[in-house]
Structure 1
Amino acid sequence: MKNFGGAGKVASMVLAGCVHHGVYANPQERIGSEYNGAGLFLTALNTSPEVPEGLAVTVLRSDRFDLYAQPDGRFLGRPEQATGVSYDAPELDGAQTIILEGADHRETATSPDAFIAMYSALAGTPPTRLDIQPEEQPQVSGEISGFANGAPTNLPLAGARLDVFAVDPQTGERRGDPVYSQTVGTDGRYGPFAAGPGQPYEFVIAADGHPLTRIYRSPFPRSTTLANLRLLPPPAVAVAGEIVAMMRPRGYFGIDDNATLDAVPIAGRPAGEPVPSVWQAAIAVPGDTAQSVAGGFDGEVITARTTPDDPDDVAWIALTD
């Protein structure tokens, strides 16, 4: 936008939870980091004017619950050390700022309040509804990507094999043979397949160099080309058994959130820490008999199924909310 003439191609822009002034600001350390508000990159980017002239820009930020806009460095591995930034670090001079109370870092872009703010900024009027208009037969597609060196690559996982099963919403058991199967090409894209209304699914991905991964998802109310399947390293657990994990890609789990896995409040949320920073949880399920494991958050409940005949696979419950 600022460095390569993009402003002339954009009518308006909404920025959600961005680290415009860094997650820390220190002119004496790591000045080459793009996350250093006093570093070379952000210092140049923030030279006046911070917002290109004539461009309508809206900034969405949390009031104080964004873990990347904190005056204390505890989320950077430096507790009780000042970061040099504060809750207002995402703001830009010349932009309209909308503060979303109670939003975590991801919810500045994914919460209902964020949607209202985005829609209003771009359309000039509030949305007439918040609920998704259901479709009779949604068409679902997306991209499969993998991981390397313990971290996601966000790159297409060519040659991955995908099988999609309709499952019982109460038990997670498969309802017959796969409803869709495909070996993806170099672009990693799968689909589309016709999803049944109200039907949850299990996505089974087999790929070289990755554990067999089974991802359980809620029903799809509408068509999407962005039902991406990101393979992740198996979570570490302290006891033996088949791993069942739960993730919240659209946000984090706070200490006050009703988040459970196998009917137990999820672990890993630091006691007394009001800023949500945990988005994954995992348990190990022992035994030689297949079991149903339910994960839930904010009213959404998804049930996975263990597969003792293949104890090295990893089951993920992928929350929508």
Structure 2
Amino acid sequence: MIFVHGFSGSGQQFETQARRLASNGYRAEFIEAHEYDSLFVENTRDEVFASLDQRIARLRAKARKDKVDLVAHSLGTGLMQEYLRSSPERAAAVAHYVNLDGATSADQPGGVPTLAVWGEGSTARAVGGATNVYFSGQSHTQVVTSAETFAEIFRFLTGRAPRTTAIVPRRHARLSGRAVLFPANVGADGARLEIYRVDPRTGDRRTRRPEAVFHITGDGSWGPFKADGGAHYEFALVWGPASTHHLYFQPFLRTDDLVRLLTSRPGEGPASQVETGDGHSAMTISRQKEWWGDQGGAGDSLRINGREVLNAANTPRAKRAIGIFTYDAGKDGVTDLSAPIPVFAAQPFLTGIDVFMPAGTRRPLSVVSRPRGGAGRVDALMVPAWPSSEHRISVQFNDHLQEARR
């Protein structure tokens, strides 16, 4: 199976579904993501198609199968519809196509059997001749990652319901992925990746020496790393003596080959717009399910050091924000939640929030999410208060509510 992302996306959007598939018998090493620069600066559409040809051929040989299944989201659906129609040979190599909340079509692209899943918006959208399913209560990225979508995909591909829509935990996990420059998906060439197991109560490293070190070159691939599926880890991308990007995740639960470390070179990319200093931290918080700050009890809660930071101004449902840049705007030591930070709010799927987070103290930063639909359940991550002058922090929450094992 190959996943093709949308605008500013990556394989990260399919990470949860890949683990659900593996929980239902799929082999993780046969699930891949095809990534590209959605601004088409680093690649052309023809180059994206040519590299997909190569990926499909390699994966077919690796799995000893005649065909692959293809899943695409948003901008990726337009690309894949064009790809499947571009030649009979390309369409013949695809057994099933899944079109997630993207382009409509009068017919099934290339004649390939198609499932189309649609989120909030018009129910007039459709792919002709396909199985069309509508989840009007789900947002654009949520449609990719939800358990409901997974059940539809699995049934479409196999003709039966999945045994479970949960991620079945495994003690021993293999982690691998890519460290890439956001949003171009170019490898973070020149960085050094250090992986540390951390204390979930503080985010502090359990040992001075990392459990693994990878030197990032080429397309940014790293791994495999033998992990404990229930443990918390820090992924530190070291760019030099004065610049480290610290990335924190919830436990991976089981083998995951789609771990994406989204970063930028020091002084470049979106992070270059963040105001930094010795006395305060800067943190990017993400989840592959939009943050809703204007839906009351039907929305989300996100607290930093005990303070609610989501509201109707900075994370309205219509914004479809999955990435939140938080830092002390103006470097005035004051939190101001009255309006989003314009430079980030102007970007698709991003927002910015002015939050003062004292740095350089022994007290960690507390980040607590209460996801909508979770019956009050909370997810919490504690991370060290690294000074933003030399350190960047990224925190990624799960997009799923882990159901009881069935």
**TM-score, structure 2 normalization:** 0.60
Name 1:245's counterpart in structure 2: 284
* Pair 15,52 (structure 1): closer, same or farther in 2 beyond 3 Å: closer
Q: Which residue of 1 aligns with 2:398?
A: 320
AA aligned to 2:97 is M
The correspondence of residues 225-304 of structure 1 with structure 2, limited to 5 A, is 225-232=257-264, 233-234=270-271, 236=274, 241-248=280-287, 250-255=288-293, 256-267=299-310, 269-270=312-313, 273-275=316-318, 277-281=320-324, 282-283=326-327, 284-297=356-369, 298=371, 299-304=378-383
Give 1 or 2 for the bigger CA radius of gyration: 1
Q: In 2 relative to 1, CA 318–96 (structure 1 residues): closer, same or farther, beyond 3 Å?
A: same
In structure 2, what is the Cα distance between the partners aligned to 1:305 and 1:91?
47
Q: What corresponds to 1:126 in structure 2?
A: 161
Shift, 1:104, TM fit: 0.9
What are the equivalent positions in structure 2 for 1:72-83 lying under 5 Å apart? none
- Please tell me the root mean square deviation across aligned C-alpha atoms, in Å: 2.7
> For the Cα contact (< 8 Å) 2:190–2:217, is it kept in 1?
yes
| Pair 1:198–1:272, CA change in 2 (3 A) | closer
Identity score, percent: 22
1:137 matched to 2:172? The reply is: yes
Alignment match, 1:110 = 145
Closer/same/farther in 2, CA of residues 89 and 290 from structure 1, 3 Å limit: farther
Change in CA separation of 1:243 and 1:271 when aligned onto 2, cut-off 3 Å: closer
Residues 304 and 59 of structure 1, relative CA distance in 2, 3 Å threshold: same
**1:129 Cα deviation from its structure 2 partner:** 0.7
Query: Please, which of 207, 227, 240 is the counterpart of residue 195 of structure 1?
Result: 227
Cα distance between partner residues in 2 of 1:218 and 1:272? 22
Q: Partners in 2 of 1:313 and 1:17 — Cα distance?
A: 36
How many equivalent pairs are there? 266
Larger helix share, 1 or 2: 2
Q: Offset at 1:113? A: 0.8
Correspondence 1:16 to 2:100? yes
Amino acid at match of 1:306: A
1:58 equivalenced with 2:93 (yes/no): no
Secondary structure of the 1:125 match is coil
SS of structure 1 residue aligned to 2:86: coil
Instruction: Tell me the CA shift for residue 246 of structure 1.
Output: 1.0
- Any conservation in 2 of the 1:143–1:226 contact (CA below 8 Å)? yes
Paired with 2:111 and 2:180, the residues of 1 have a C-alpha distance of: 39
CA distance in 1, matches of 2:164, 2:246: 34
User: Is 1:59–1:90's contact at 8 Å kept on the other side of the alignment?
Assistant: no
2:213 matched to which residue of 1? 181
**Alpha-carbon distance, 1:164 to partner:** 0.9
Any idea what SS the aligned residue of 1:7 has? Answer: helix
For residues 271 and 290 of structure 1, do their structure 2 counterparts lie closer, same or farther at Cα, with a shift above 3 Å needed?
closer
- Aligned-partner Cα distance in 2 for 1:273–1:203: 31
Unaligned runs of 5+ in 1: 22-45, 65-86
| 1:164–1:181 contact (8 Å) kept in structure 2 | yes
Alignment of 1:79-98 (within 5 A): 87-88=122-123, 90-98=125-133
Matching residue's letter, 1:124: G
CA contact (8 A) 1:244 1:285 kept: no
CA distance in 1 between counterparts of 2:125 and 2:379 reads 30
Give the Cα separation in 1 of the matches to 2:386 and 2:314: 33
Deviation at 1:8, TM superposition (A): 1.9
Structure 1 254/213 Cα, relative in aligned 2: closer, same or farther at 3 Å? same
**CA 101–160 in structure 1, closer or farther in 2 if over 3 Å, else same:** same
5+ residue gaps, structure 2, are 1-83, 265-269, 294-298, 328-355, 372-377, 400-406
